[in-house]
A and B are shown apart, each in its own frame.
Chain A
Amino acid sequence: MPKNIGRFFLIMSSIILIISMILWIFSVPPKEPIKIGLMVTLTGSSPELGRAIRDGAFFAVEEINKGGGIGGRKLSLIIKDNQSNDEIGKRNYIEFLKEGVYAVIGPATSTRARAILPLIDSHKLLVISPTVSSTEFSSRDDFFITLEPNNRKFAETLGMFIKKKIKPKRLILTVDDRNPVYVRDFSENLVSQLDKTTMVKTLHIRETNPDFDNLAKATIKFNPDFVILITDVFNAAILTQKIKQIRPEMRIAISPWARFRGYIEYTGHFSNGVLSVGYYDESPRNKKFMEFSKNFQKRFGYFPDSAVIQGYNSVLLIKEALLKGANRDNLRSYTLNSSFTGVLDDIKINRYGDAELETFVVIKRDEFFEKVSDESKI
């Protein structure tokens, strides 16, 4: 009996030892994930943009991790809510510094971006904004990357189109004073493209719940050939409805600030023919977009807009740089003067960190914004 038990012990010990050795040899300790910060407004005023960016970025991270990550390392998206508050935004940025993220995606708006820009300049943690488009952030040699074409470019494209195709004589420019940087940037660049003979009247939205009826009446009273709404989705939707209910034939354009799914949802048929400016075509003609849209809807249950796409692109930009050998300290140098394959097109980043995307005028038809070609009827 002792002999058998001795053999049993020996065999069991050997098996355990061998299994332990095999596990020890083949079990590679999980690599530290690559942390990416995301700070947008998720709660409070106008959270939709931030949520879309978040979902787009998350979708990209999820897809990359499913494919094995980058160099065997998973991506980890750390999400922080700015709560429409500059101080919270700054705090989030500092926290990301401490947490050792490679880069930060966000913020969604120019106002939030301006608040943290000094921190970015001093701490030099790369920030990639998917949707900030104020011109002031362009052509700056800094650690702030912008994927959205800047306002000037949008404005100039739209302005030139209006001048060329609409040729208005009287134009109403309804601007939202809650985002003065954007409004001024966009409106000035747009107007600069118009014919000098065009009479431009500017109406101001100065509060959260303005008197839309009065604004509509004031617009009609001026008897404009064309109305441009430089405000968010909700104001733009209400004003569009109000103006169209009074004068259905009124030609309206909205700035990219309002060019989202919400605008279409809240305006319905009232927004048909409304012009805007963008850099991709949402119509079924764009197969890449349709494919992406299908996958995204399946995952998140709603139609992706440009914020989703740029959130997704932000992650793709970081991935491309890392694949080229970038690390946390030199990520910026790998992104500047580079190009990467975005969701819809190849995107080039210039030496200032600005995405060089072709902008064009889009028109709302049915349930999407369609690219306006030279042959399109507007």
Chain B
Amino acid sequence: MRVRFNFKTFTFLLLLAFAMFLLISVNLSIFIFSKVFITSEKQREYSLIVETFHQNFNRLIGQNENFLFKAIQIIVTNKEKREIERQIASLFELYPSVKYLLILNKEGYIEDIYPFRKEAINIYLGNTSMYRNLGKYSLYGPHIFLFDRNVYYVQSLFFSNRFYVILLDVPDFNSFLKKLRERGYLSFVVEPSGRIIAHYDERLVLEGDNIKMFSDNFSQIEETRIPKEFTINGEKYLFICKFLPLLNNFIFVGNEYSQAFAGFNIFRSQMLWLFLITVIVSLVISIAVSNFMQKPVRVLTKMIENIRQHRYRIEPEKTNFVEFNDLSENLSEMAKTISDREEKISKIFEASRDAIILSTLQGDILDINSAGLKIFGYTDKSEFLKKKASDFYYNPEDREKFLNELLKKGFVENFEGKAKRADGTYFYALMSSSMARDEEGKPLFIVSFVKDVTDRVRMQEQLFQAQKMESIGRLAGSIAHDLNNMLTVISSNNQLIQMYSKDNVRVLKYTEGISNAIEKTKDFIRKLLTFSKRQVFEFKQYDINEVVREEVKLLKPTLRENITLTVEFYSEPLYVSIDRTQFTQILLNLLVNSIEAMPEGGSIKIGIEKKRIERDVANLYPNIREGDFVCLNFSDTGKGIPEDIRNRIFDPFFTTKEDGTGLGLSTVHSIVQQHKGFINVYSEVGVGTTFKIYLPMAERQEEKVELKEESQIPIIKRILIIEDNEEVRVAVEELLKSYGFEVYSISNPLELIEQFEKYRDKFDLCLSDIIMPKMSGLELYKRLRQIKPDIKFLFMTGYANNVEQVNELIKEGLRLLSKPFNIKEFLEKVREILESK
């Protein structure tokens, strides 16, 4: 666990610790020094007192001995009892502490006593401790005297076979100890057993107390070398104990502990004050120092806090410390660097047109850029951040797949799925993510780049559709070519039969049936060629508003009463280059679908807009160039198209109707494509469907008004047929001949070129197939035109592999006759050729 302090506390604790250390160490050293010093000092004092006591005691003993000597002298020198008593009485007055003088014989009987007591004479004291100690000690006691029952000390002198014993008063013996007490010293004398025989408190002597009763420290009475601590009744004392050999007793001299160490106690008290002052000073200094030191720290902290709060415009502040100033400047620079870097990151973040999302593994959203909000359809960022990542997956299993891959590889690249918008709709999202980790490799957050690829997906779908249509178209074109050739043979022969059997009603009836069948087959093949783009269009510029207005007039009567049709026109003319017939086909097919989708009624809405298609979108569609487009919105409120079939509605022959051909929408799609446009569909089941048809806008071209000169139409009688298919060639040749034309035919264009001079003046019109094995009809035309510039060509074709080539052919004023044709159509084209000339 790490302890944290603020600067002020730390400084205070440091100073306090220092003060305490100082106090304790100084106090301890002084205590040890003082104790040793004072104890040593006291030892000298006490020893001196003991010595003084000893001297006084010796003097007392000497005085008492003087008494004894004088008394013995009186007794020996005087024979008169009365005189002896008188002189000894005088002696008692000189020695007031002496109370009795006993003269004992060797057996212990009292021979005499002063002051005289008759009843004491001849009393045996030989069994008393007083008698037993005679001669052993100079002065001893106290002992109770049998006759007055008072306590006395005893001193004796053996002289002339007798013991001269004096009994001394105890108070006098204690006087010395009392005087010491007055000077502050405590002293007492005890027997080896502990019995107190002299004490500064005389009461203890009188009570016969034993010093052992006052403290366990006295359990062993023995000398001490140096003063020792004694505890008596909870109070501490300092005593030295010395043996008094003359008395056979011990003397204790000392002081109350507090008194003995008074000097030290005063010093200790001063140290305590010093400590308190030090603490207070420490506190004041710590506050002052820490404030002074903290100021630059606070400045730096504030700067760091600003950086943390993303406020990078911070100026370096000046303090009294160079180091802090350097640090402050560095911080300011650092903030600037961070600011620049963050700004860059922020710009990258915000400038991205794709969504950039920061999230956690648990799905919490940390941040999203503006583009992301737009893509996901949010305006309020906080609303988005409240969501979980899983909320944005249209298919929940996608989230699981995404996380599995991320955890496995550490990144996810081009993960494609459907993502939910704020309004619940979805879009196709292309997501790349990677995991940001810390130094230890633990996941920090996930960075995800999300691109809305809905348009691209749709384009891809359309491309796929186009490719599919292309394949089908090629097949259809191939079939149509052969079919048309065969129909041409059939049609031509049928016309010949009709012509030669004018009178045969039955034959006419049957051939009429054949003619109808040929017409229906032709119409079918035409539709087939339309969605397979093999149909040749005639483009002209129109204002889309006008075209739609006119078409709506024609279409409205076909609507049921429970269906309304509204049109929103664009505010200005929008010109498009269209084949009017095909455009009508688009509207008609869409209208039919909408009507069928609204059996219970509803509304159809047609809107016209102008849209700009950028290069990146244009690149997604085949044959689409960037630029301005007219967008025709065709919406209904029908039952909608289920999602599972939505990508198949433009497939040819795909239908959900029992009697449908499956060519309606595929035709629309094909026509739009052949107009270099594209179509998108938006549908929701139960809500309706919207088709958006984009057609490239055309620059307005002034219509060239050609004044037709009235001229005589030249007569065309001789026709040269160039057709590689023999059956067709024969059938057409027969047909034309039957109508009075002079017909020559040739199967190989190269042969014609080689023998052109031979035919040069033998025909008025070349009726040529376009697609031939060795040379195309157009190439033939170009070669022959070089030879004969005024040559007239009419092309016939079952279909066109290269529509552009055919359109170019048309642009050059050449005419095209679609197989199969009847003589009427042929004559019409011939007339057009002649008129154009």
Chain A residues within 8 Å of B, Cβ to Cβ:
2-3, 5-7, 9-10, 42-43, 45-48, 51, 55, 58, 81, 208-209, 211-213, 234, 237-238, 241-242, 245, 262, 264-270, 299-302
**Contact of B206 (CB < 8 Å), options: A43, A45, A46, A301:** A43
Chain A residues with Cβ below 8 Å from B730 are: none
Chain B residues with Cβ below 8 Å from A81 are: 207
**Contact of B1 (CB < 8 Å), options: A10, A48, A213, A245:** A10
Knowing A267-B124, A302-B193 are in contact, say whether A234-B207 is a contact too (CB < 8 A): no
Judging by beta carbons under 8 Å apart, are B119 and A300 in contact? no
Judging by beta carbons under 8 Å apart, are B119 and A9 in contact? no
**Contact of A234 (CB < 8 Å), options: B149, B191, B212:** B149
Judging by beta carbons under 8 Å apart, are A301 and B193 in contact? yes
Chain A residues with Cβ below 8 Å from B191 are: 301
**Contact of B119 (CB < 8 Å), options: A42, A58, A211, A301:** A211
Judging by beta carbons under 8 Å apart, are A42 and B207 in contact? yes
User: In B19-57, which residues have CB < 8 Å from any A CB?
Assistant: none
Task: Kindly list the 5 A-B residue pairs having the minimum CB-CB distance in the complex, ordered from nearest.
Answer: A301-B193, A268-B127, A42-B207, A6-B3, A43-B206
**Contact of B3 (CB < 8 Å), options: A9, A55, A270:** A9
Knowing A7-B3, A213-B119 are in contact, say whether A270-B149 is a contact too (CB < 8 A): no
By CB atoms of chain A within 10 A, which of B124, B147, B193, B212 has the most? B124
Q: Shortest Cβ distance from B326 into chain A, in angstroms?
A: 21
* A55 to chain B: closest residue by CB: B210
CA distance A301 to B191 in the complex (A): 9
By CB atoms of chain A within 10 A, which of B5, B123, B147, B206 has the most? B123
User: In B74-133, which residues have CB < 8 Å from any A CB?
Assistant: 108, 118-119, 122-129
Knowing A212-B119, A266-B127 are in contact, say whether A238-B146 is a contact too (CB < 8 A): yes
Chain A residues with Cβ below 8 Å from B118 are: 213
**Contact of B127 (CB < 8 Å), options: A48, A55, A264, A299:** A264
Chain A residues with Cβ below 8 Å from B192 are: 301
Judging by beta carbons under 8 Å apart, are A47 and B128 in contact? no
* B107 to chain A: closest residue by CB: A268
Chain B residues with Cβ below 8 Å from A270 are: 124
Knowing A45-B149, A58-B213, A267-B124 are in contact, say whether A5-B193 is a contact too (CB < 8 A): no
Q: Shortest Cβ distance from A61 into chain B, in angstroms?
A: 10
Knowing A9-B3, A55-B210, A212-B119 are in contact, say whether A267-B127 is a contact too (CB < 8 A): yes
CA distance A81 to B202 in the complex (A): 14
Judging by beta carbons under 8 Å apart, are B195 and A301 in contact? yes
Knowing A43-B207, A299-B212 are in contact, say whether A265-B123 is a contact too (CB < 8 A): no
User: In B504-529, which residues have CB < 8 Å from any A CB?
Assistant: none
Q: Shortest Cβ distance from B815 into chain A, in angstroms?
A: 102
Chain A residues with Cβ below 8 Å from B213 are: 58
Judging by beta carbons under 8 Å apart, are A265 and B5 in contact? no
Tell yes or no: B709 within 8 A of A by CB: no
Judging by beta carbons under 8 Å apart, are B1 and A2 in contact? no
CA distance A270 to B125 in the complex (A): 11
CA distance A48 to B147 in the complex (A): 15
Knowing A238-B123, A238-B146, A300-B193 are in contact, say whether A265-B129 is a contact too (CB < 8 A): yes
Knowing A6-B5, A10-B3 are in contact, say whether A245-B122 is a contact too (CB < 8 A): yes
Judging by beta carbons under 8 Å apart, are A3 and B123 in contact? no
**Contact of B146 (CB < 8 Å), options: A10, A43, A211, A237:** A237
| B-side interface mostly | loop
**Contact of B126 (CB < 8 Å), options: A2, A55, A268:** A268
Interface size class, chain B: 35 or more
Chain B residues with Cβ below 8 Å from A9 are: 3, 13, 17
Judging by beta carbons under 8 Å apart, are A3 and B207 in contact? no
CA distance A295 to B195 in the complex (A): 16
Can you list 9 A-B contacts with CB-CB less than 8 angstroms, sorted by A residue number?
A2-B5, A43-B207, A47-B207, A55-B210, A211-B119, A238-B119, A300-B195, A300-B212, A301-B192
Q: Shortest Cβ distance from A2 into chain B, in angstroms?
A: 6
What sequence of 0s and 1s flags, for each residue 195-226 of chain B, a beta carbon within 8 Å of any chain A beta carbon? 10000000100111010110000000000000
Q: Shortest Cβ distance from A89 into chain B, in angstroms?
A: 15
Tell yes or no: B194 within 8 A of A by CB: yes
Tell yes or no: B345 within 8 A of A by CB: no
* B125 to chain A: closest residue by CB: A266
Q: Shortest Cβ distance from B23 into chain A, in angstroms?
A: 16
Judging by beta carbons under 8 Å apart, are B194 and A301 in contact? yes
Q: Shortest Cβ distance from B44 into chain A, in angstroms?
A: 32
Judging by beta carbons under 8 Å apart, are B146 and A2 in contact? no
Judging by beta carbons under 8 Å apart, are A3 and B210 in contact? no
Knowing A47-B208, A301-B194, A302-B193 are in contact, say whether A5-B124 is a contact too (CB < 8 A): no
Q: Shortest Cβ distance from B297 into chain A, in angstroms?
A: 13
Judging by beta carbons under 8 Å apart, are A300 and B207 in contact? no
Chain A residues with Cβ below 8 Å from B119 are: 209, 211-213, 238, 242
Chain A residues with Cβ below 8 Å from B108 are: 268
Chain A residues with Cβ below 8 Å from B195 are: 300-301
Judging by beta carbons under 8 Å apart, are B194 and A43 in contact? no
**Contact of B123 (CB < 8 Å), options: A2, A241, A299:** A241
Extra contacts besides A238-B147, A301-B191 (18): CB < 8 Å: A5-B17, A9-B17, A10-B1, A43-B206, A43-B207, A48-B208, A213-B119, A238-B119, A241-B123, A264-B127, A265-B127, A266-B146, A268-B108, A299-B212, A300-B194, A301-B194, A301-B210, A302-B193
Judging by beta carbons under 8 Å apart, are B206 and A2 in contact? no
Q: Shortest Cβ distance from A227 into chain B, in angstroms?
A: 17
Knowing A6-B4, A209-B148, A268-B127 are in contact, say whether A300-B203 is a contact too (CB < 8 A): no
Judging by beta carbons under 8 Å apart, are B3 and A265 in contact? no
CA distance A266 to B4 in the complex (A): 85
Chain B residues with Cβ below 8 Å from A10 are: 1, 3
CA distance A267 to B146 in the complex (A): 11
User: In B467-483, which residues have CB < 8 Å from any A CB?
Assistant: none
Q: Shortest Cβ distance from B171 into chain A, in angstroms?
A: 13
By CB atoms of chain B within 10 A, which of A9, A55, A242, A265 has the most? A265
* B193 to chain A: closest residue by CB: A301
User: In B378-404, which residues have CB < 8 Å from any A CB?
Assistant: none
**Contact of A241 (CB < 8 Å), options: B1, B124, B144, B203:** B124
Judging by beta carbons under 8 Å apart, are A234 and B146 in contact? yes
CA distance A46 to B144 in the complex (A): 10
CA distance A245 to B4 in the complex (A): 99
Knowing A42-B208, A301-B195 are in contact, say whether A209-B127 is a contact too (CB < 8 A): no
Judging by beta carbons under 8 Å apart, are B127 and A269 in contact? yes
Judging by beta carbons under 8 Å apart, are A51 and B207 in contact? yes
Chain B residues with Cβ below 8 Å from A268 are: 108, 124, 126-127
CA distance A309 to B119 in the complex (A): 33
By CB atoms of chain A within 10 A, which of B129, B193, B194, B208 has the most? B208
Chain B residues with Cβ below 8 Å from A55 are: 210
